[in-house]
Amino acid sequence: MRNTFGTRLTVTLFGESHGPEIGCILDGLKPGLPVDLARITDLLARRRPAGPTATARVEPDPFRIVSGVYQGRTTGTPLCILIPNTQAESGEYRGLADTPRPGHADYTGFVKYQGFADPRGGGHFSGRLTAPLVAAAGIVLPALEARGIRIGTHLARCGGIPDRSFSDLPVDLAALACAPFPVLDPERGSAMREAILAAAEAGDSVGGVLETAVTGLPAGLGEPWFDTVEGLLSHALFSIPAVKGVAFGDGFALADLRGTQADDPFRMDGGRIVTEANHNGGVNGGITNGMPLVFRTAVKPTPTIRTPRRTVSLASRSDTEITVQGRHDPAIAPRAAIVQTAVTALVVCDLLTEAEG
Amino acid sequence: MRNTFGTRLTVTLFGESHGPEIGCILDGLKPGLPVDLARITDLLARRRPAGPTATARVEPDPFRIVSGVYQGRTTGTPLCILIPNTQAESGEYRGLADTPRPGHADYTGFVKYQGFADPRGGGHFSGRLTAPLVAAAGIVLPALEARGIRIGTHLARCGGIPDRSFSDLPVDLAALACAPFPVLDPERGSAMREAILAAAEAGDSVGGVLETAVTGLPAGLGEPWFDTVEGLLSHALFSIPAVKGVAFGDGFALADLRGTQADDPFRMDGGRIVTEANHNGGVNGGITNGMPLVFRTAVKPTPTIRTPRRTVSLASRSDTEITVQGRHDPAIAPRAAIVQTAVTALVVCDLLTEAEG
Amino acid sequence: MRNTFGTRLTVTLFGESHGPEIGCILDGLKPGLPVDLARITDLLARRRPAGPTATARVEPDPFRIVSGVYQGRTTGTPLCILIPNTQAESGEYRGLADTPRPGHADYTGFVKYQGFADPRGGGHFSGRLTAPLVAAAGIVLPALEARGIRIGTHLARCGGIPDRSFSDLPVDLAALACAPFPVLDPERGSAMREAILAAAEAGDSVGGVLETAVTGLPAGLGEPWFDTVEGLLSHALFSIPAVKGVAFGDGFALADLRGTQADDPFRMDGGRIVTEANHNGGVNGGITNGMPLVFRTAVKPTPTIRTPRRTVSLASRSDTEITVQGRHDPAIAPRAAIVQTAVTALVVCDLLTEAEG
Amino acid sequence: MRNTFGTRLTVTLFGESHGPEIGCILDGLKPGLPVDLARITDLLARRRPAGPTATARVEPDPFRIVSGVYQGRTTGTPLCILIPNTQAESGEYRGLADTPRPGHADYTGFVKYQGFADPRGGGHFSGRLTAPLVAAAGIVLPALEARGIRIGTHLARCGGIPDRSFSDLPVDLAALACAPFPVLDPERGSAMREAILAAAEAGDSVGGVLETAVTGLPAGLGEPWFDTVEGLLSHALFSIPAVKGVAFGDGFALADLRGTQADDPFRMDGGRIVTEANHNGGVNGGITNGMPLVFRTAVKPTPTIRTPRRTVSLASRSDTEITVQGRHDPAIAPRAAIVQTAVTALVVCDLLTEAEG
């Protein structure tokens, strides 16, 4: 299955950066869920670049739902969301088709699609296609929240500066979802912004780490083999452009711990079974244990930068150089936070539907 | 799909640690592939624990192929591999059903399967089930090698000690696959073994990092969204018991780099397009670029250790303690190397079949 | 998978009869296929009702392709076709939500979607949704024809009157695809039209049988179990509204034959292996044998008729009556012919992609 | 997906007629279902040929469940059933590899598997592989019966002789499932047996029609497009060797009816909504309506008959003749009844799991 993800709740993504419309189909939704258009608008606004650390391309992201909703509620039939591309200026990208940008999908897309793909603005590979994913999350997030599930993502690291961690303090995940620059510690957030601006001034870009927490999940979601919670989530998360690593709980730090430091002893808490620590990020043997689901992704620095880069000409098969003048973020990680929350919401909703019908 | 993985080449896994037989079904194999039983035997031997750093449970792993092979070649119909459980001693695990081991799947399996799962030796969650995966890889590896693809995994880090990296030196991936303790630098390997023994003597265990390289892959494998190479591989790799993180290329280190440091400029090499560095691990935009595919996994320390651990009684719902006396590795990472190679081989074969029919 | 069909080439269907737009996503298309918009327009025109035997609702079926096509060729990324609903008059159907029409999906849709489905004009169940399927076939038919594959469907029986059979005469399948009332024998076609008109005048409707032939297929498509050619085709064909039976080759007539009458002896024809007869409809053991693929579907009479019918009120749960005044065909079979050709084209293209990459 | 069927409850089939073992994997079973080994033995006994109308090859069908069952109940993990091939005598089939039997899969299997398939006894295409399907049904039938669902199949027609129909009389579906020659009217059953014997004496074979009824199903199962109840069932039913047609309710007879004769008016019956007739076989718009699910399959006459048949030599590519001396039924339809019941049980269980979790 190519551009579709999910088992019971599936999302099918389509469109190109400079085509007339992009969108997605959500199939497997329960009938009767209230659809909150303002919530979708808010989430899309969060995904849009804003301020001095982000690209100048700002689209209003109007969207239309053309099926699957009747009288303000989901019908249970496929829900199609369409978002028009209103501000595409393909001239800026002219010439890229022959000289692939390093770190981008230009070359691999050329090979895979044998030269027939739409090259304008990255075509089907464009980060623009995360907008329908965010809109889709706007359909399922209210349903998750109604049953006590909260999802939030913060910029755990950016430009070499770490944020505080989820375990340091009580966190308002809902507030995090609304923040334009989602950090737990505003001072460190200011330092990150400065690092981003410094890189931008140098014609360069920075990477980061995004950390997500999901609270309120029941124990028992996921499968022991293949469709583990970690496997399903990572499968989806690697679709977020620039994500190159996914790690649960203490992640790669676990490699240097001893067993007595790394496991999570059980104890009773009221009538409920909990773990004393959460080194495993809420997953044991591929299945949720009822503790917060916590994971991090590594986001590489934006590959499109104004500094000249070496590349090749696909037509003449010779070495050359490229300087990209298009609008691009000096850091993709801050904007990707809402996308990570959105992808997580879709996978969590699928897991719950699979487990509970 | 629960215990099945793959798009064109699927593997379906079944069995319990102390049941009569475990096994898997490989479906979608091309007809006419030579089946090398000695190769499968060798791979299974590599997965078996050996020496002072490993558990005392050593099973000879006889296996039978009961379908899909005729006159020494694959038929193209489903190939079923069965491995009997000859040395299971379930007495050792008696009593575990009520007191879940921290860090294990005992509790989550209890919740998911409502108390009906076979609790002996971890049941369906047992690391024993990686044996059929390794045997299955023994079917596809010769076919991959025949077209110039090599896969090798080394212990990049264990007990806090780093191995040298793939980029430091020319690596014989084939030799790595045969090594009982796969490291690039034998001296660092010795230090790792000492660290493992020290932990074992303290009734404890250590974690590690496994790094895999795949050479000889064509450019163009994978999909831009969802079924990215990273997404498909990570989905499968998280099934390896104790894996908690997967990262491609420079992985989490990319988060602290600038764009000018992290991308991989293209250049011509003979008539071939290559990249000057491989920070992206051979994948751009979810699709292979023809460079070596390189990724790392974080393996947590074995949770089953002889030190008493706090847990709860599921029946009385009260706090208690557990001391596990069963046979277990003080480090799972060295044995998991061949499993990681096997899982990679199966995913790579699926990707090639999807791309080339 | 709910509203998606196919293995390598998938079609995902969305929309409601009286919503703003309906459409489908085609995923898995090869890059570089020429897209012939006029051909799609022609096929949609064939699906539209015309003449005295059909409903008065005639929509021009303008359509838009919003993704997956660049410079007149497929890109290989998901292709989204949208068709606006321009003439919907939902007033005519008002009141139906409470009194389900016999033979329709009103009641079963009400149960399945718990009362939240869009009831106007049949909503997601409407025959309107076959328009995107026909448009999708317009993408793949030229590619099939370019490799010598022809697909045609005729009205083998209608109102009790049989057409001649495919085996009686040489058939121009391409001409059949363009015919507004597709029969092999024009005289019998006239008799069928009279039967339809007679039923319409009596406020009633008639059923029919549609027979499809596919020529030019290679031997070897399909699987021995589950994904047999018969299984895959029938799975899709039962989505055509009113189809209640699917039979291959001689179909139900085979039940009364002896083995010596029913098998298809092989013989050489030039250098090619052929069968002397085609009782099996081109399929042996679930797999194509290189002879024409031939099958029939049973199409029930249109359930929406002007004669009063007994039904129940869902709200008061009491017996009542319904008389439907909407625009409807007295015979759905003639219009369904092009839909059957379209569905067949999509399944055949999927089978070829699966077999040949 | 090749040899796997199902959405939530999947069955994966493997094995060859003359290999060491055949079997299947059932995945997606609920944990805690009682496993009745005697029931499975009984069902397998029903599938075995018996009496003068059947082949002389009688295997005792011992079976082993090697995973997914613990202390007499399903665990919820994959259940593997193995059946050894004890009486295979491959000598009888020697020589068939080069001269494909008309009406069989010998030729299509040769093309599909490029000559590498196991040709002995039909290999993977053999009707022997229906034994694991029947055994699998023995796992799910008790669970279906426990919730009031009954499934029965009778020989509605054989050798040109019709049985009475389900609608003629009250039917004990449970008794039907135990009958060695399942007919509603014993006298007509005797006539059918005579017709079968007459064909056998003439070195020939006969076809038949199998009709299945499922009672106790809730309304609301199935999907409006693609995964209709008719589509899912027919997809699976065409895997039963020799089935060439599937029709629901009145099936092909609907083609000659008028709308006023063919629809099924609703009425209240107690507090329940029922239909006055069941021309639609319990399905409207692809979804169950709560009435009995009724369908028929067309079973062609056994193609393997002792009369010499024309065929070709695959090696010399010239015309030749074949006379098959192996053990074969003069009528496959009577034995296929229990297979049809089994396949139906598996699909119904999948539909219920999909709808109810």
- Asked if the Cβ–Cβ distance from B300 to A261 is below 8 Å, we say no
Q: Which residues of A touch C73 (CB under 8 A)?
A: 116
From chain C residues 210-249, the ones with a CB under 8 A of any chain B CB are 224
Overall residue count recorded for chain B in this entry: 357
> How would residue D100 be classed by pLDDT, with cut points 50, 70 and 90?
very high
The pLDDT of residue B53: 57
User: What is the average pLDDT value for chain A, to the nearest integer?
Assistant: 91
- Asked if the Cβ–Cβ distance from C10 to A4 is below 8 Å, we say yes
Question: Which residues in chain A come in under a pLDDT of 70?
Answer: 1, 50-60, 87-96, 168-169, 325-328
Choose among D10, D12, D75: nearest Cβ to B78: D12
CA atoms of D114 and D97, how far apart (whole Å): 12
**More confident site: D175 or B230:** B230
The pLDDT of residue D236: 98
pLDDT tens profile C244-298? 999 999 999 999 999 999 989 999 999 999 999 999 999 999 999 999 999 999 9
Q: Which residues of B touch C27 (CB under 8 A)?
A: none
Beta bridge partners of B65: B81
The pLDDT of residue A132: 98
* Shortest CA gap A134–chain B (Å): 14
The pLDDT of residue C51: 56
- Amino acid D150 reads R
Q: Which residues of C touch D126 (CB under 8 A)?
A: none
The pLDDT of residue A54: 55
The pair of structure tokens assigned to A348 is 């969590």
The pLDDT of residue D86: 77
From chain A residues 51-80, the ones with a CB under 8 A of any chain C CB are 64, 66-68, 70, 73-80
* Shortest CA gap C355–chain B (Å): 7
Q: Which residues of B touch D93 (CB under 8 A)?
A: none
pLDDT tens profile C14-39? 999 999 999 999 999 999 999 999 99
The pLDDT of residue C327: 60
Residue in chain B nearest D17 by alpha carbon: B67
Instruction: Chunk chain B into consecutive blocks of 10 residues (it has 357) and report each block's average pLDDT, rounded to whole numbers.
Output: 90 96 97 97 86 55 94 97 79 68 94 94 93 98 96 96 84 82 95 95 94 97 97 98 97 95 94 95 97 97 83 95 78 95 98 89
Is A305 an interface residue toward B (CB < 8 Å)?
A: yes
- Asked if the Cβ–Cβ distance from A77 to D355 is below 8 Å, we say no
The answer on pLDDT for C178 being more than 90 is: no
Choose among A77, A224, A356: nearest Cβ to D357: A356
The pLDDT of residue B241: 95
- Asked if the Cβ–Cβ distance from D111 to C232 is below 8 Å, we say no
Least Cα distance to D323 among D106, D57, D101, D94 occurs for D101
- Percent of chain D past pLDDT 90, that is, above it, reads 79
SS3 A337: helix
Is B357 an interface residue toward C (CB < 8 Å)?
A: yes
CA dihedral C12, C14, C17, C22 (to 10 degrees): -90
Is B281 an interface residue toward A (CB < 8 Å)?
A: yes
SS3 B236: helix
* Shortest CA gap B43–chain A (Å): 21
Q: How far is CA D235 from CA C225, C296, C342, D124, in A?
A: 10, 16, 19, 18
Q: Which residues of C touch A14 (CB under 8 A)?
A: 25, 27, 66-68, 77-80
pLDDT tens profile A145-200? 999 999 999 999 999 999 998 876 677 887 887 788 999 999 999 999 999 999 99
Choose among D77, D224, D356: nearest Cβ to A357: D356
The pLDDT of residue C141: 97
The pTM (predicted TM-score) of the whole model is 0.96
Beta carbons within 8 Å of A253's beta carbon, 6+ residues apart:
B298
For testing contact with chain B, the best of D13, D70, D353 (most B CBs within 10 A):
D70
pLDDT tens profile A108-150? 999 999 999 999 989 999 999 999 999 999 999 999 999 999 9
- Asked if the Cβ–Cβ distance from A224 to D356 is below 8 Å, we say no
Q: Which residues of D touch A77 (CB under 8 A)?
A: 224
- Asked if the Cβ–Cβ distance from C244 to D230 is below 8 Å, we say yes
Which chains touch C (3+ CB pairs under 8 A)? A, B, D
The pair of structure tokens assigned to A237 is 């998360």
The answer on pLDDT for C225 being more than 90 is: yes
pLDDT tens profile C121-151? 899 999 999 999 999 999 999 999 999 999 9
**Residue whose structure tokens are 């006994």:** D45
- Asked if the Cβ–Cβ distance from A117 to C64 is below 8 Å, we say no
Residue in chain B nearest D82 by alpha carbon: B66
CA atoms of D353 and D344, how far apart (whole Å): 14
Overall residue count recorded for chain A in this entry: 357
The pLDDT of residue C307: 81
Least Cα distance to B49 among B264, B337, B322 occurs for B337
Choose among B103, B112, B285: nearest Cβ to A125: B285
Is A14 an interface residue toward C (CB < 8 Å)?
A: yes
**CA D173 to the chain's CA centroid:** 16
The pLDDT of residue A88: 57
CA atoms of B310 and B171, how far apart (whole Å): 44
CA atoms of D354 and D229, how far apart (whole Å): 12
The answer on pLDDT for C80 being more than 70 is: yes
The pLDDT of residue A285: 96
In the 8-state DSSP scheme, what is residue A234? H
Residue in chain B nearest C357 by alpha carbon: B357
For testing contact with chain B, the best of A104, A210, A244 (most B CBs within 10 A):
A244
Q: Which residues of A touch D355 (CB under 8 A)?
A: 357
Residue in chain A nearest B222 by alpha carbon: A112
Does residue A272 come out as left (phi exceeding 0), alpha (psi in the -120 to 50 range) or beta?
A: beta
From chain B residues 27-46, the ones with a CB under 8 A of any chain A CB are none
The pLDDT of residue C54: 56
For testing contact with chain A, the best of B263, B294, B320 (most A CBs within 10 A):
B263
Least Cα distance to C163 among C191, C144, C142 occurs for C191
Beta carbons within 8 Å of C94's beta carbon, 6+ residues apart:
none
* Shortest CA gap B351–chain A (Å): 12
Does residue A8 come out as left (phi exceeding 0), alpha (psi in the -120 to 50 range) or beta?
A: alpha
> How would residue D177 be classed by pLDDT, with cut points 50, 70 and 90?
confident
- Of all helices (H) and strands (E), which one includes residue B138? helix B130-146
The pLDDT of residue C89: 57
Mean pLDDT of D124-135: 96
> How would residue D6 be classed by pLDDT, with cut points 50, 70 and 90?
very high
Which chains touch D (3+ CB pairs under 8 A)? A, B, C
- Of all helices (H) and strands (E), which one includes residue C135? helix C130-146
The answer on pLDDT for D237 being more than 80 is: yes
The answer on pLDDT for D159 being more than 90 is: yes
Concatenated DSSP letters of D15-42? --TTSSEEEEEEESPPTT-B--HHHHHH
Beta bridge partners of C162: C157
The answer on pLDDT for C59 being more than 70 is: no
Question: By mean pLDDT, which of B169-173, C107-111, D238-242 is the weakest?
Answer: B169-173
The residue extents of the domains of chain D are: 8-356
Q: Quote the ipTM score.
A: 0.95
- Asked if the Cβ–Cβ distance from C299 to D255 is below 8 Å, we say yes
The pLDDT of residue D58: 53
Q: For domain A4-356, give the CATH number.
A: 3.60.150.10
From chain A residues 148-177, the ones with a CB under 8 A of any chain B CB are 157-158, 160
The pair of structure tokens assigned to A44 is 């899309």
What angle do the packed helices B333-356 and B37-47 form, to 10 degrees?
A: 140
User: What is the average pLDDT value for chain C, to the nearest integer?
Assistant: 91
For testing contact with chain D, the best of C107, C206, C225, C314 (most D CBs within 10 A):
C225
* Shortest CA gap C113–chain A (Å): 6
Q: For domain D8-356, give the CATH number.
A: 3.60.150.10
The answer on pLDDT for C93 being more than 60 is: no
Residue in chain A nearest B15 by alpha carbon: A225
Beta bridge partners of C4: C12
Q: How would you classify the pairing of strands A161-162 and C293-299?
A: unpaired
- Asked if the Cβ–Cβ distance from A355 to D357 is below 8 Å, we say yes
The pLDDT of residue D2: 83
